[in-house]
Amino acid sequence: MRGGTGKPVDLEVLIENVLNAVAAGLTIGCIYGLMCIGLGLIFGIMRIVNFAQGELLMLGMFTSLYLVTGGGVLAFLGPYIGPFVGALLAGPIIFAGGALLHKFLIARVSGLRTTGTLDEGHFGQLIVTLGISLILQNGGLIVFGSTPMTVRTPLSSKALEIGPLYGDATVFLNKARLIACGVAIVTAVVLYLLLEYTRLGKSLRAAADNPTAATYMGINVDKAYRVAFGLGSAITAIAGGLMATYLSFGPFVGIDYVIIMYSGVVLGGMGSILGAFWGGLTVGFVQQCSALFLPPQLQNAAIFVVFLMIVLLRPQGLFGRSAERA
Amino acid sequence: MRYGSAPRLKRDLTALGIVAAAYLAATTLVTNSYYQLIMTLVPIWAVFGVSWNILSGYGGQLSFGHAAFFGIGAYTVTLALVYWNLTPWLGIPLGMIVAAVAAVLIGIPTFRLRGHYFALSMLAYPLAILYFLQYFGFQEMSLPMHRENPVAFLEFTEPRWYTVVAVGVLAVGLFFSMLIENSRFGLALLAVRQNELAAEAAGINSRLWKMRALVVSGMIAAAAGGFYACVLLVVTPESVFGMLVSAQAVVVTLFGGVAAIWGPVIGAAILVPLAESLNAELGNILPGIQGVVYGVAIIAIMLASPDGLFWTLRDRFFKPKPFAPLPHDLPAPAAIAPADAGKPLLQVAGLSRSFGGLRAVNDVTFEVKSGEILGIIGPNGAGKTTLFNLLNGVLSADTGTATLAGRSMLGQKVHQVCRMGVGRTFQVVRSFPRLPLLDNVIVGAYGAGLSDSDAIAAAAHALRRVGMADLAGVAAGQLTNKQLRLMELARALAGNPRILLLDETLAGLGREECDDVLSVLERLRTEGMTVVIIEHTMHAMMRIADRFLVLDHGRVLATGLPRDVVEDRTVIEAYLGKKWLAKQDA
């Protein structure tokens, strides 16, 4: 069958490429999903247009890097477990940062203060978070330098082989990505349970949904907002820490991902945590599959085009109802 | 030109002449070539700010992607020079044309979005272009030198000439900005920014004005970008399409003053030298200092004075000059002859609209006779405002017909319905607080498509009809709630409508204020105006309405003379419930 015609070999290569793109799309997509949940909390539910979400992702990456490598406190865990614990620990650290950011800056241009004002204060939010984004990007350049970094783990150069499935076509699953994907799914599930079933989660959702009514119900809306914003920051930062294990990054990495995050959240439908995850997964999947026929430089451009298509054609999201009213 | 704009234009042009002369004089004193470069960059970034200000400042359409146009200008000049040997003197205009085309292509899909969706989408355009340029191998382009005839290729050995050209570009940009601010263009943009729906209801084609603003803005930005390429002689995708470039326009304008002619100039004059010199002094140890300074600057300005330095200073130190009083010899506009009183003017039949399973307006049929006041009453959620939204084109009807003097109102855009002669007011009044009352009212006259002089006459006449002609020069921010309500009424009247749809005009007014507004409405009726009014205040409705239309759950519950309707059992039941009715009977 496999004689000298060459044609079946091409088919094998094609099948192998497609299968690997699908596998990469699913694993990376889950991590994108987690990343989008963070923005989903802040933009989808609290309706704060946070321009600096990409920089929170970047901070998660660097936090994890400094925890794990060099003389970091987690260096003793070794290169196998360390990077993933580091990613998870970036969560609480960025949570504190996000909560402070909200207390001192974001709260002044969002929430009860702007309810009912001209365009609900979106102008102010866009400007203030653009400022935060500029400070973090360029401050990051000063503090972290411009050399591309990565959280090194031997796992990123090892792959789990499945197959051969068809002829020689084999699926290679990068182990670092696979574990990162697993951690992302677990984190997302824990967060979902937390929001759905605990008192804290209910008060957060109530405050975000209708701040005025929540105030009357005795919920401390200011605190709830702070916690929710911190949580949204932390979740994106954890995703950043996980991505840092297989990706080289610098202080300006956020700008590429902020668009991906908004695509995911809008695609998933505003206001839904699960939707944000599915949205992120879809975007990651599309991005990886576009690698089959697009050169690497154009993959990011493809994401922007997809984003524009989504907001233009289906601003209500694939999975949600329209949240915008005239 | 707008009323009273001549002195303002003269003052601004004089200021422009003085500032430009002083700036050029200062240039001759600077000898350090780096500071000379900064002197050239200040006007360039100011022009870029001016361009952003037109779309995002006046028009309120926040764009985070203005680098798209700046970069198109820069790359058009560079590529035309490299491949066609085209001089930048022609390359810059060519870049402006390309940017205008790009603006139309970007505007057509993107203006379907509003608010933060618009802002985010605009961000994507320059970044997408950036990646494409990198892919096609235009990473770093240098502009070839022409030693034999440098001036013909916009090249100068004396760096001060670059500053002269930059100031010239800025002067032209500011001149266009002044023309826009002082014409109906600027007023239409302000109206759209304030409340797009209300602007449409006042007859303004918001989509068209926004598109015009984007095109003008994109062309000015491209001129700035094209000249920037000539000054720096090297362009990279990051340096002209990058995020920091878009931020530059936002930052200088916000800092200096949004929707103010001089805002971007003030912002650029302060921030550009600050950031550039910090970059020069500390750039080696602190490579991102420029971005940090900009970030801190916009956060600080947003929290301290959200409208920018210009407005804060003006509000604190300069009292605006008293407004020229309205001339009394303005001709009264030719009024549309009121159709024969008593003939049906507005006829609605079988009008329905559902939202999902909710029938908000359900098979509504009624007519309004010319010269009468029809009061629409009903409990909250009865579908009253939805009915208005169907009539003036905000929402589309599922079934049914609505005609005004025989012409169908359905299927038209909001501003088209306005031009058919339907004036409308909203539950929430939105004014331009810093503009005088007359300008607030003129919006309605411009919406009706009147020429400048006719619009002034129509607005003055409308103010007289509501009894506020004396206040024509007062800034709307100083008016009371009642006066704002009357202002809205005047704005609707300025378009010379055949019928007025008033949505809770009396909401939040005290008894006496209420009476004042009611007497204005009564006077309008004696002048032959036809009015449909939604109102909850029963005593007011009993006094003013000729007939009632009662809505409940989207259906017409009753129509008729006020006295009969309030005695109607079904109406009482809808308002007060069955129990109350039973008690009453017992």
Which B positions 520-559 lie with beta carbon below 8 A of chain A? none
pLDDT digits (tens, 9 = 90+) for B343-368: 888 999 999 998 878 888 999 999 99
Nearest partner of B442 among B423, B424, B428, B462, judged by Cα: B462
pLDDT digits (tens, 9 = 90+) for B503-549: 888 888 888 888 899 999 999 988 889 999 998 888 888 888 999 99
Partner residue facing A142 (CB), from B250, B288, B303: B288
The token pair at B535 is 């109102």
Q: CA-to-CA distance for B567 and A111, rounded, in angstroms?
A: 46
Q: How many domains does chain B have?
A: 2
Cα dihedral across residues B86, B87, B90, B95: positive or negative? positive
Q: What is the mean pLDDT of residues A39-51?
A: 85
Peptide bond into B287 cis (omega under 30): no
Residue B211 has pLDDT above 50, yes or no: yes
Quick one: pLDDT band at residue A325, thresholds 50, 70, 90? very low
Quick one: pLDDT band at residue A324, thresholds 50, 70, 90? very low
Contact A228, A271 (CB under 8 A): no
pLDDT at A78: 78
Residue B228 has pLDDT above 80, yes or no: yes
On average, the pLDDT of chain B sits at 87
Tell me which chain B residues have a C-beta less than 8 angstroms from the C-beta of A257: none
Q: What are residue B522's DSSP bridge partners? A: none
Question: Chain centroid to CA A234: how far?
Answer: 10
pLDDT at B499: 92
Residue B574 has pLDDT above 80, yes or no: no
pLDDT at A4: 45
For the ranges B35-49, B125-139, B339-353, the lowest mean pLDDT is seen at B339-353
pLDDT at A326: 29
| Contact (CB<8Å) A142/B306 | no
pLDDT at A317: 61
Q: CA-to-CA distance for B76 and B96, rounded, in angstroms?
A: 9
pLDDT at A322: 40
Q: Are residues B356 and B238 in the same domain?
A: no
Q: Can you give the CATH number for the domain in which B567 is found?
A: 3.40.50.300
Q: CA-to-CA distance for B474 and B468, rounded, in angstroms?
A: 10
Q: Are residues B532 and B401 in the same domain?
A: yes
Quick one: pLDDT band at residue A2, thresholds 50, 70, 90? very low
Residue B231 has pLDDT above 80, yes or no: yes
% pLDDT > 90, chain A: 32
Which residue, among A102, A122, A129, A134, would best test binding to B if mutated, counting the most B CBs under 10 Å from its CB? A134
Nearest Cα residue in chain B from A52: B295
Q: What is the pTM of this model?
A: 0.87
Q: Which range, A89-93, A303-307, B117-121, is most confident?
A: A89-93
Query: Among B218, B242, B266, where does a domain finish?
Result: B242
Q: Are residues B80 and B227 in the same domain?
A: yes
Q: CA-to-CA distance for A36 and A31, rounded, in angstroms?
A: 9
Q: Which range, A156-170, B96-110, B551-565, is most confident?
A: B96-110
Partner residue facing B288 (CB), from A137, A307, A326: A137
Our CA-based measurement puts residue A281 at a distance from the nearest CA of chain B, in whole angstroms, of 20
Q: Between B231 and B196, whose confidence is greater?
A: B231
Cβ atoms within 10 Å of B553's Cβ, excluding its own: 16
For the ranges A294-308, B183-197, B521-535, the lowest mean pLDDT is seen at A294-308
pLDDT at A1: 41
Q: Between B95 and B355, whose confidence is greater?
A: B95
Q: Is residue B315 part of a domain?
A: no
The dihedrals phi and psi of A237, each to the nearest 5 degrees, come to: -65, -40
Q: Which range, A10-19, A147-156, B237-246, is most confident?
A: B237-246
Nearest Cα residue in chain A from B110: A312
pLDDT at A115: 58
Task: State the residue for tokens 């600057």.
Answer: B297
Burial B32-57 (b: 16+ CB within 10 A, else e): eeebbbbbbbbbbbbbbbbbbbbbbb
Q: What is the mean pLDDT of residues B382-411?
A: 90
Q: What are residue B423's DSSP bridge partners? A: B500
The three-state secondary structure class of B15 is helix
B159: containing domain? 5-242
Q: CA-to-CA distance for A20 and A18, rounded, in angstroms?
A: 5
Q: What is the mean pLDDT of residues B105-130?
A: 85
Q: Tell me the HSE value of B252 on the side-chain side, using a 13 A CA sphere.
A: 33
Q: Are residues B218 and B356 in the same domain?
A: no
Q: Between B273 and B336, whose confidence is greater?
A: B273
Query: Among B242, B262, B295, where does a domain finish?
Result: B242
Q: Is residue B281 part of a domain?
A: no
Query: Among B242, B271, B290, where does a domain finish?
Result: B242
| Contact (CB<8Å) B297/A311 | no
Quick one: pLDDT band at residue A167, thresholds 50, 70, 90? confident
Q: CA-to-CA distance for A38 and A44, rounded, in angstroms?
A: 9
Which residue type does B490 have?
A: A
| Contact (CB<8Å) B288/A138 | yes
Which residue, among A128, A266, A311, would best test binding to B if mutated, counting the most B CBs under 10 Å from its CB? A311
Q: Is residue B317 part of a domain?
A: no
Residue B174 has pLDDT above 80, yes or no: yes
pLDDT at A323: 37
10 Å CB burial of residue B503 (0-12, 13-18, 19+) is buried
The three-state secondary structure class of B135 is helix
pLDDT at B245: 92
pLDDT digits (tens, 9 = 90+) for A89-140: 999 999 999 999 999 998 888 766 665 555 556 777 888 998 999 999 999 9
Residue A320 has pLDDT above 60, yes or no: no
The three-state secondary structure class of B137 is coil
Q: What is the mean pLDDT of residues B442-446?
A: 86
Q: Which range, A5-19, B80-94, B352-366, is most confident?
A: B80-94
Strand residues in B198-332 grouped as ranges (E): 234-235
Nearest Cα residue in chain B from A325: B114
Cα dihedral across residues B419, B420, B422, B424: positive or negative? negative
| Contact (CB<8Å) A135/B291 | yes
Q: Between B509 and B432, whose confidence is greater?
A: B509
Q: Are residues B351 and B236 in the same domain?
A: no
The token pair at A254 is 């956020």
The three-state secondary structure class of A47 is coil
Q: Is residue B257 part of a domain?
A: no
Strand residues in B370-467 grouped as ranges (E): 373-377, 399-404, 407-408, 422-424
Nearest partner of B234 among B383, B78, B415, judged by Cα: B78
pLDDT at A224: 86
Q: Are residues B233 and B378 in the same domain?
A: no
DSSP-derived pairing of the beta strands B373-377 and B399-404:
unpaired
Partner residue facing B120 (CB), from A118, A133, A262: A262
Q: What is the mean pLDDT of residues B254-263?
A: 90
Q: Between B280 and B207, whose confidence is greater?
A: B207
- What is the greatest pairwise CA distance in chain B? 107
pLDDT at A3: 43
Cβ atoms within 10 Å of B428's Cβ, excluding its own: 12
For chain B, the C-alpha Rg in angstroms (whole number) is 28
Q: Are residues B369 and B220 in the same domain?
A: no
The token pair at B211 is 């598109």
Reading phi first (left if > 0) and then psi (alpha if -120 to 50, else beta), residue A319 is in alpha
On average, the pLDDT of chain A sits at 83
Is the minimum CB–CB distance between A108 and chain B shorter than 8 Å? yes
For the ranges A52-61, A266-275, B98-107, the lowest mean pLDDT is seen at A266-275
Q: CA-to-CA distance for A85 and A80, rounded, in angstroms?
A: 10
Q: CA-to-CA distance for B545 and B568, rounded, in angstroms?
A: 17
Is the minimum CB–CB distance between B428 and chain A shorter than 8 Å? no
Q: Is residue B311 part of a domain?
A: no
